Amino acid sequence: MSEKQKINILWFTKDLRIRDNESLYRIMQEDLPFLAVYIFDKDFFKSKQFGFRKIGKFRAKFLLESVLDLEKSLDQKKIPFLKKFGKTQTVFKQISDLFEIEKIFCEKEWTQEEIDVENEIRTVLPTVKWSKSHSQFLLKPEFVEGKLETMPLLFTNFRQKIEKDLEIRNEFISDELFYNKSLFDLKIKNDDITLKTLGFDDFESH
């Protein structure tokens, strides 16, 4: 059996920007080729207790359009992109059957369901390293670490202090970078994902 090629994974979850994207910027600094991945996790689109969904048809359509826009942006930069519908850990296992995944770059999650999904990935990829960013926060956790006692209790006071003292970091220049890694044969096809795939009837916005 031939040795599997080593790659990194850029796992898109909620932050679908390529501009000022820390994970994209970080993975571009690595030597290994990488694969960008977005997964429509089928468990997320299942009906939940009392028949309520986590997501409605309008948000689902917006998500499809956002992922399509992401796909086009990545294609312009020649970044390999995999778009799948299924269980997240199953898709990662499918990738790992073909490639040796060295490191996963992604946004750090804090809520239980997202942590559970990550733990499921760890069960199928126990040796993979992780590199996480805090793209969803205006202020990174380390900015307030050890400062809770001195933090103003009122938002107005907090805002005034931030406006006075906070130094805004420069943007990560991720949107100016182009894929400069070796190309590889993905061997996995993108899924054709529609509203019906996600469990919704198609409709037109007016």
Give the model confidence (pLDDT) of 4-63 as tens digits.
999 999 999 999 999 889 999 999 999 999 999 999 999 888 867 677 888 899 999 999
Task: Look at residue 65 and tell me if it is in a domain.
Answer: yes
Task: Look at residue 206 and tell me if it is in a domain.
Answer: no
Distance, CA of 25 to CA of 20 (rounded, Å) = 8
Distance, CA of 64 to CA of 30 (rounded, Å) = 29
Extract the runs of DSSP E, i.e. beta strands, from the chain: 5-12, 34-41, 81-86, 99-107, 129-133
The residues that bridge with 31 in the sheet, in sequence order, are: none
Task: Look at residue 53 and tell me if it is in a domain.
Answer: yes
Task: Look at residue 100 and tell me if it is in a domain.
Answer: yes
Residue 11 structural domain: 5-136
Distance, CA of 76 to CA of 71 (rounded, Å) = 9
Q: Domain count for the chain, please give it.
A: 1
Task: Look at residue 78 and tell me if it is in a domain.
Answer: yes
Task: Look at residue 143 and tell me if it is in a domain.
Answer: no
- What 3-state class would DSSP assign to 151? coil
Q: What is the CATH number of the domain that holds 105?
A: 3.40.50.620
Task: Give pTM, 2 decimals.
Answer: 0.87
Give the model confidence (pLDDT) of 144-202 as tens digits.
666 667 777 888 987 887 777 777 777 887 777 778 777 778 889 999 999 999 999 88
Task: Look at residue 157 and tell me if it is in a domain.
Answer: no
Task: Look at residue 84 and tell me if it is in a domain.
Answer: yes
